[in-house]
Amino acid sequence: MLKELDVVILTNDLPEHDLKKGSQGAIVHCYEDEQAFEVEFVSETGDTLALLTLERNQIQLERELIKHRVVELIDAFPVELLAEVRDFAEFLQYQQQNKAS
């Protein structure tokens, strides 16, 4: 489920707005049907590049994209590295929990 302030990635080029597939934006409004969203794209200096109404199939949560890529990488690792990956992930989780405390 997408919500306001989620970081999203474009799933296709939007040449009429000079935005390429993979461009990052933030949801600033969700329509009730959850099929359309207002997404703001900003430059590195914080200037608004575009504020667009996009359909659900035009955007993907950045988090989903990262998770998918991590699974692809893990699937390609040799078995002997999997324990190291698990240990590193647990270390990161431990660090995150300590920051929250």
Q: What is the mean pLDDT of residues 12-35?
A: 93
Note the pLDDT of residue 33.
85
pLDDT in tens, 62-79: 888 888 889 999 999 998
Note the pLDDT of residue 46.
84
For the chain, domains (ranges, CATH) are 1-101 (2.30.30.30)
> Burial code of 59-71, b = ≥16 C-beta within 10 A, e = fewer?
bbbeeeeeeeeee
DSSP conformation letters of 37-72 = EEEEEE-TTS-EEEEEEEEGGGEEEHHHHHHHHHHH
pTM of the model: 0.69
